[in-house]
Structure 1
């Protein structure tokens, strides 16, 4: 279902995460089921998806070194993205985009671009002038990032398991100077 309602993007705090856990887990599961290479493989359960957010994202939010954004359209959580700025002392100028997710029912509506714009703005507000990310080589996200001004630093062959098939996929490491 697609409409022309405005997209609402907001930050989720550590205290608010529990209120979004079910919806975030549903988006993550839908993306993995659709073949997104975002660190998980099938079978991937509701408990697995919610455990990721409560066990990995929540501690990072609590320690103040990650930002979680959510995107709502038509009253439904349809996407999310994370900015990780927990960098070593020699990299205070850098941040990393993690787990940019858009529910497959809402692809090609500008949601990923809007989330990326917000993540870049947050990075700049935090004094970060370099953003890095990685994406499966040849995936539909790779040209999206390139269209947003990200450059390819390199490709790592055999980096991860494909989420649906028994094979290894390469990853493309990308960056953008702000």
Structure 2
């Protein structure tokens, strides 16, 4: 699928970028979707934001510039894999619209499919889940700069799909993303 053909030609590799707050369910949805796509025989790779950051960007902090650099690095890697026919699932917070747009533009410039999925879980639900204990640590004053708590998150204005994981099971969320991919030819 090229970035501009509307998906009618079939998916030949592309990136599904899952953005949202910490503990929104991005990685969980990506893992479920990866399992489903793999079982269907598709080439798939999850590029988890935390894992890729640790491997490719351990030198970066959490300033806006550092976050943008990290997002662009993940986007570059996603695009390279997608150009080789891999469906890349990138669960990455990516708090700034500008850096997400740069990743989308990079994909489009190379004719690589890109879909943005906003995992739109409210901060209250994310804090209740607190998978990594980040919200509790931020509330205790142990950390600062937590996206959605004391650092900004610019929610996508017009994503390809908006998931409300507080109302859906993981399977329902995976089915919604899978349906979007089916509509684009995968």
Q: TM-score range by the shorter chain?
A: 0.3 to 0.5
Q: Which has the higher helix share?
A: 2
What is the TM-score normalised by the length of structure 2? 0.34
Q: Which has the higher strand share?
A: 1
What is the TM-score normalised by the length of structure 1? 0.35
